[in-house]
Amino acid sequence: MTRKYFGTDGIRGTTNQGFMTAETALRLGMAAGRYFVRGDHRHRVVIGKDTRLSGYMIESALTAGFTSVGMDVVLVGPMPTPAVGMLTKSLRADIGVMISASHNPFHDNGMKLFGPDGFKLSDAVELEIEQRMERPIESLLVKPAALGRAKRLEDARGRYIEFAKSTFPSELRLDGLKIVIDCANGAAYNVAPTVLWELGADVITLGVDPNGFNINKDVGSTAPQTMCQKVLETGADLGIALDGDADRVIISNERGEVVDGDQLMAVIATTLKAAGKLKCDCLVTTVMSNLGLERYLEGEGIAMERTKVGDRYVVEQMRANNCNLGGEQSGHIILSDFATTGDGLLAALQILAALVASGKRASEVCHRFEPVPQLLKNARYEDADVLDGNAVKDAIAAAEEALAGSGRVLIRKSGTEPVVRVMAEGDDRHLVETLVDRIVETVERAA
């Protein structure tokens, strides 16, 4: 059944346009609240947000929705997405909500939901909540005496800071390391620099002055050039760039060179394996991860399993196979020994631990393999069945045949906009570029 509100990572859209309105947030609070009200205990929801102006509106609407169906609301303010997952489980809450549009610009916003176990909801649960959102409001409301209350958790930041520090090896410190931390003017602007400073680092901050409008604007993991430049200007040992809700991370080495999620996962996977801590000797990642990573891990005796794009699908596969490491090329890295979802700060701490333990420079530690040439382009469409046409099928088949044994082709529709994402990778860069362009042209003609 087609879903109306939920996409690949919660509900997301442009604020006050389409379905990203206060009314939707109100209905979501009521429907999700009703779904998770089970048993006779006092029910509780944790609500966090990033720094977008619209967060105030959506937070208020969600609070009204949840309290109207009998749930108590715990507000934690601007906090990373993984912190909301952690606090949901820690506080024995029935549900958690993170108000954020992640790496999108300020005018977008969204809502990500966590279950009582701290994990993001399954497709089936999201569909059930959607169906409840369509019911008459009167059918969801509780009697006046059963209404919920709302309160703020004043020490939420401190709880997450101590939790993050606890994931860093107790025998190590960051003394002597100069680190640039770019918080994207987002949810981690307060907590991430504090964690690094308390572990002993000389901290240089970027993107820590949110004003409601500047989240992800020329800073953060989607604009790592700002961080890289600051690393070079200050002679830092490492740069860390988070995105707006801090569930992903991109690194810069001391040369100002970007290190993506594939390289970071390679570092963490081999480090865990050497310590005997990599469960099943396996890394779970998505179809977007580079073929070079797969070849490198094979040489290290580590299997690689791929899922469809979306960190929650990575988590589902990790849980199904009892794996404790997974992630995406974009920098979502899940360390399930510590967290229930991607956590950019925790992943960065694992890289820093490897750096300190080795005594080597970031450029030596964080470059584990040569990426295979990879190209991704988008083709816009109006016809939803555009991939079913014979011309498009033939172009894809021809590309797969041309790359057989030396690369791969991936074609998928975006979950958030009307575009087909065309990706190919292989040892011959010119061939990859030619094949991608050919498929994009064919899709656009068919569309």
Give pLDDT tens digits for 250-264. Answer: 999 999 999 999 999
- Residue 147 and residue 34 share a domain: yes
Query: Which amino acid is it at 19?
Result: F
Domain containing 171 equals: 159-255
Instruction: Label residues 268-300 b or e (16+ Cβ within 10 Å = b).
Output: bbbbbbeeeebeeebbbbbebbbbbbbebbeeb
Calculate the average pLDDT of the chain: 95
In angstroms, the CA 278 to CA 272 distance is 5
- Residue 127 and residue 16 share a domain: yes
pLDDT at residue number 294: 96
pLDDT-derived band at 413, boundaries 50, 70, 90: confident
In a domain? residue 331: yes
In a domain? residue 1: no
In a domain? residue 43: yes
Q: Which has the closest alpha carbon to 345: 334, 355, 337?
A: 334
pLDDT at residue number 382: 80
pLDDT-derived band at 1, boundaries 50, 70, 90: low
What residues form DSSP beta bridges with 239?
180, 252
Largest CA distance in the chain: 69
pLDDT at residue number 9: 83
Section 81-102 average pLDDT? 97
Section 294-301 average pLDDT? 97
- Residue 380 and residue 306 share a domain: no
Q: How far is CA 394 from the centre of its chain?
A: 34
Query: For 164, phi and psi rounded to 5 degrees?
Result: -60, -45
DSSP H helical ranges for 134-180: 156-166
In angstroms, the CA 333 to CA 325 distance is 8
CATH number for the domain including 322? 3.40.120.10
Of the three residues 308, 337, 365, the one that is the final residue of a domain is 365
pLDDT at residue number 416: 66
In a domain? residue 10: yes
Lowest mean pLDDT among 126-130, 267-271, 306-310, 337-341: 306-310
Number of domains in the chain: 4
In a domain? residue 79: yes
- Residue 208 and residue 147 share a domain: no
Q: Which has the closest alpha carbon to 19: 6, 32, 9, 30?
A: 6
339 contact partners, CB below 8 Å, separation of at least 6: 82, 85, 86, 346
Question: Is-catalytic flag, 102?
Answer: yes
CATH number for the domain including 431? 3.30.310.50
In a domain? residue 121: yes
pLDDT-derived band at 208, boundaries 50, 70, 90: very high
- Residue 225 and residue 345 share a domain: no
Section 232-238 average pLDDT? 98
Among residues 68, 102, 252, 289, which one is catalytic? 102
- Residue 143 and residue 16 share a domain: yes
pLDDT-derived band at 381, boundaries 50, 70, 90: confident
In degrees, rounded to 5, the angle at the alpha carbon of residue 120 between the alpha carbons of residues 38 and 58 is 80
Tokens 């959102």: give the residue: 133
Residue 279 pLDDT > 90: yes
Residue 286 pLDDT > 70: yes
In a domain? residue 387: yes
Section 263-274 average pLDDT? 98
Q: Which two tokens stand for residue 141?
A: 């409301």
Section 276-301 average pLDDT? 96
In a domain? residue 187: yes
Q: Which two tokens stand for residue 332?
A: 């979502």
Collapsing DSSP to helix, strand or coil, 230 comes out as: helix
Of the three residues 153, 187, 213, the one that is the final residue of a domain is 153
CA distances 373 to 198, 264, 289, 426, 447, Å, are 40, 18, 12, 6, 28
How confident is the model over 166-192, as pLDDT tens digits? 999 999 999 999 999 999 999 999 999
- Residue 37 and residue 138 share a domain: yes
Section 106-115 average pLDDT? 96
Burial zone of 25 (CB within 10 Å; 0-12 exposed, 13-18 middle, 19+ buried) = buried
pLDDT at residue number 134: 93
Q: How far is CA 283 from the centre of its chain?
A: 17
pLDDT-derived band at 383, boundaries 50, 70, 90: confident
pLDDT-derived band at 361, boundaries 50, 70, 90: very high
Residue 57 pLDDT > 90: yes
Residue 417 pLDDT > 80: no
Task: Please give the model's pTM, rounded to 2 decimal places.
Answer: 0.92
Of the three residues 330, 365, 400, the one that is the final residue of a domain is 365
- Residue 122 and residue 27 share a domain: yes
Section 140-156 average pLDDT? 96
- Residue 303 and residue 233 share a domain: no
Q: Which two tokens stand for residue 82?
A: 């993984």
- Residue 133 and residue 40 share a domain: yes
Section 220-249 average pLDDT? 97
- Residue 405 and residue 308 share a domain: no
- Residue 359 and residue 281 share a domain: yes
Section 285-306 average pLDDT? 96
In which region does residue 358 sit, left (phi positive, over 0), alpha (psi from -120 to 50) or beta (all else)?
alpha
